[in-house]
Amino acid sequence: MVGAMDIGYPYALTAELTHRCPLRCVYCSNPLELERREAELTTDEWLDVLDQAGRLGVAQVHFTGGEPLARADLEPLIRKAREAGLFVNLITSGVGLTAKRAQQLADAGVDSVQLSVQASVPELSDFIAGTRAFERKRQAAVWIREAGIPLHMNAVLHRLNLQLVEELAEMCASWGAERLELANAQYYGWALRNRSLLLPSREELREAEEALRRAKERFGHRMELIWVIPDYHEEYPKPCMGGWGRWSMTVSPDGRVLPCTAASEIRTLQFENVKRRDLAWIWRESPSFNAFRGSDWMPEPCRSCERKELDFGGCRCQAYLLAGDAGQTDPVCHRSPHHRLVAETVSGAPKQAAGGFTWRTTGENL
Amino acid sequence: MKQPALSDRPKLRRPARLKYDPARETELLLLPERVVRLNPSAGAILRLCDGERSVAAIIERLERNYPGSDLKGDVLEFLATAADKGWLEPWTSVTLTP
């Protein structure tokens, strides 16, 4: 554990306003056990969280979910975040947006909107989302731009759409996106459940990287292209969250404060709740945030590894989900004693026999 | 990117914003997916990039705050770097005006 003096200030807050969502994406990284509507923080509780976040040094808030537009109080929350001096990013499926709501978001002071899209082919996009959403997303993009909000887009990549990287970039550029995040699926929550159907082969990935290079040549001058690597195919793990409890925090719909959006799946840690503790205490003092700070907690092979300050042992949630222990080296690392869990999965794709997809539940009928 | 002309009026690139952070006692540049912690001189220069002031006016203003210093070279170099990083709108000086 590190001493209190070594703990800096958080830069970013991910505010998961709700787990309710009209989409049922097969790659959703929300936990399998979604929070119920009745468990969600109230407007006043969120306003207080945003106030506290600003005082704690947070500079940026990402409103996400589920679908944050499902919260009728989104606009006052955006206003409060701006009052607290935060940069406000809204991550949305676009479903539920209207021209009027887009203008209300702009008036409230949202700085950017990140609109998700599942594929460049409408039918495939709707199949992945488990509902007819593509046309509403295309319309949402128009309304976001008409409201004068910078349009950013994201697409989660996996075996169903990885061959469409260049077409996705072309479509997003034509919709007026200034930025496109192409994020290879990370295997948590529903994505982990559907992993055998989502995980691409090395060859499919190599072709996608070629397509990315072409897309950058064609659209890079007018649209920033971000590529989030597929960590399963790497030799070393990702520096997950830039280190546990180092830069950012997530508040889940029910008020639990997590060092990472996927952390609620770690059953061996107790996460504090903003209903009972203030954010500053949770950030600095709570056992969950201090559990994997610094490097004293590390086992071998991390402990003596020259990369331990580069990747911080990888992802704690992934270590828990795959190796059964959040304190182990991320099994993605080829030096991990559990690495075969990942290696065999990757070399098995796409040959594995698999059942059908499990679509995420919407959360409305929980 | 090449350096701006003295007549250019640099402006933060939308939707970037500056925030003085009392917790860290420093200027932060807020960008869509990242936050940049600025050193004092970078913060002071960017604070003046409001789209109204010319580069010449920015330099003059800074030199007033730090009398006896010649900041022109440093400011021009910083502005070019900042534009390269996408923090500032592209220069308009290529347009010929009568």
Q: Tokens for A253?
A: 């719909």
Greatest alpha-carbon span in chain A = 57
CA distance B95 to chain A (A): 20
Asked if B17 and A56 come within 8 Å (Cβ–Cβ), the reply is: no
Chain B contacts of A57, Cβ < 8 Å?
21, 23-24
Residue A287: the pLDDT is 97
Structure ipTM: 0.82
8 A C-beta contact, residue A99 and residue A140: no
The answer to whether B24 faces chain A, any CB pair under 8 Å, is yes
Which tokens belong to B4? 């701006």
Backbone dihedral angles phi then psi of residue A109, each to the nearest 5 degrees: 110, 20
Nearest chain B residue (CA) to A280? B23
With an 8 Å Cβ cutoff, are A59 and B30 in contact?
A: yes
Please tell me the distance from the alpha carbon of residue A17 to that of residue A14, in angstroms, as a whole number. Answer: 9
> What confidence score (pLDDT) does residue B95 get?
43
Asked if residue A150 lies in contact with residue A178, where contact means CB atoms within 8 angstroms, the answer is yes
Query: Which chain A residues are within 8 Å of B30, Cβ to Cβ?
Result: 59-60, 86-87, 111
Residue A69's nearest CA partner among A90, A50, A47 is A90
- Select from A87, A91, A246 the residue whose CB has the most chain B CBs within 10 Å, as the one to mutate to test that interface: A87
Asked if A87 and B30 come within 8 Å (Cβ–Cβ), the reply is yes
Residue B54 has pLDDT above 90, yes or no: yes
pLDDT at A366: 43
Question: Distance between CA atoms of A337 and A15, rounded to whole angstroms?
Answer: 35
Q: Write out residues in chain A with pLDDT < 70, as ranges.
A: 1-6, 349-355, 364-366
Q: Let me know if B70 is exposed, middle or buried by CB neighbors in 10 A (0-12, 13-18, 19+).
A: exposed
DSSP string, B29-56: EE-SS-EEE--HHHHHHHHT-BSSS-HH
Q: Which residues pair with A299 in a beta bridge?
A: none
Q: Would you call B35 an interface residue with chain A, using a CB distance cutoff of 8 Å?
A: yes
Phi, psi of A44 (to 5 degrees): -60, -40
- Write the DSSP symbol of residue A252: -
Q: Do B23 and A56 touch (CB under 8 A)?
A: yes
Q: Which residues of A touch B28 (CB under 8 A)?
A: 59
Cβ contact, residue pair A224, B14, below 8 Å: no
Check: CB of residue A16 under 8 Å from CB of residue A34: no
Task: Please judge whether B19 and A85 are an interchain contact, meaning their C-beta atoms are less than 8 angstroms apart.
Answer: yes
Token pair 């295997």 is at which residue?
A: A187
Q: B21 touching A, CB under 8 A?
A: yes
Q: Hey, of B18, B27, B31, B35, which one would you mutate to test binding to chain A, going by the most A CBs within 10 A of its CB?
A: B35
Task: Name the 3-class secondary structure at A84.
Answer: coil
User: How far lies A258's CA from each of A7, A64, A290, B37, in Å?
Assistant: 16, 14, 11, 24
Point out the residue among A9, A60, A181 whose CB comes nearest to the CB of B30: A60
The answer to whether residue B25 neighbours chain A at the CB level (below 8 Å) is no
Question: Looking at beta carbons, which residues of chain B come within 8 Å of A249?
Answer: none
A87 three-class SS = strand
pTM of the model: 0.92
Q: CA nearest A152 in B: which residue?
A: B32
Give the pLDDT of residue A354.
57
Alpha-carbon torsion (A65, A69, A70, A75), positive or negative: positive
Helix or strand holding residue A48 (H, E):
helix A43-56
Query: What residue type is A168 in one-letter code?
Result: L
Judge whether A26 and A130 are in contact, CB under 8 Å. Answer: yes
Q: How confident is the model at residue B59 (pLDDT cuts 50, 70, 90)?
A: very high
- Whether B97 has a pLDDT exceeding 60, the answer reads no
CA–chain centroid gap for A22, Å, is 17
The residue of chain A with its CA nearest to that of B27 is A59
**Residue A92: strand pairing partners:** A115
Write down the pLDDT at residue A13.
98
Which positions in chain A touch B35 (Cβ < 8 Å)? 11-12, 59-60, 87
Confidence of residue B12 (pLDDT cuts 50, 70, 90): very high
Instruction: Report the alpha-carbon distance of residue A7 to residue A284 in Å, rounded.
Output: 7
Nearest to A185 by CA among A265, A262, A298, A98: A262
Residues from chain B that touch A106, judged by Cβ atoms under 8 A, are none
What is d(CA A285, CA B91) in angstroms, rounded to the nearest whole number?
47
Question: Does B7 touch chain A if contact means CB atoms closer than 8 Å?
Answer: no
Contact A185, A156 (CB under 8 A): yes
Residue with tokens 């539920």: A96
CA distance A201 to A232: 10
- Within A70-193, strands assigned E span 87-92, 112-116, 151-157, 179-184
- Tell me whether strands B26-30 and B35-37 are parallel, antiparallel or unpaired: antiparallel
As a whole number of angstroms, the distance between CA A165 and CA A184 comes to 11
Q: How many other β-carbons are positioned within 10 Å of the β-carbon of residue A324?
A: 10
Give the closest-approach CA distance of B14 to chain A in angstroms.
8
Residue type, B70: D
pLDDT of residue A5: 43
Backbone angles phi, psi at B89, to 5 degrees: -65, 150
List all residues 6 or more positions away from B12 whose beta carbon is below 8 Å from its beta carbon: B18, B46, B49, B87, B88, B89
Separation of alpha carbons A95 and A23, rounded Å: 8
- In terms of C-beta density within 10 A (0-12 exposed, 13-18 middle, 19 or more buried), how is residue A120 classed? buried
Q: Which of A59, A114, A152 sits opposite B19 (nearest CB)?
A: A59
Q: Chain A contacts of B19, Cβ < 8 Å?
A: 59, 85, 87
Strands A112-116 and A151-157: parallel
Angstroms from A89 CA to nearest CA on chain B? 7
CA distance between the termini of chain A: 39
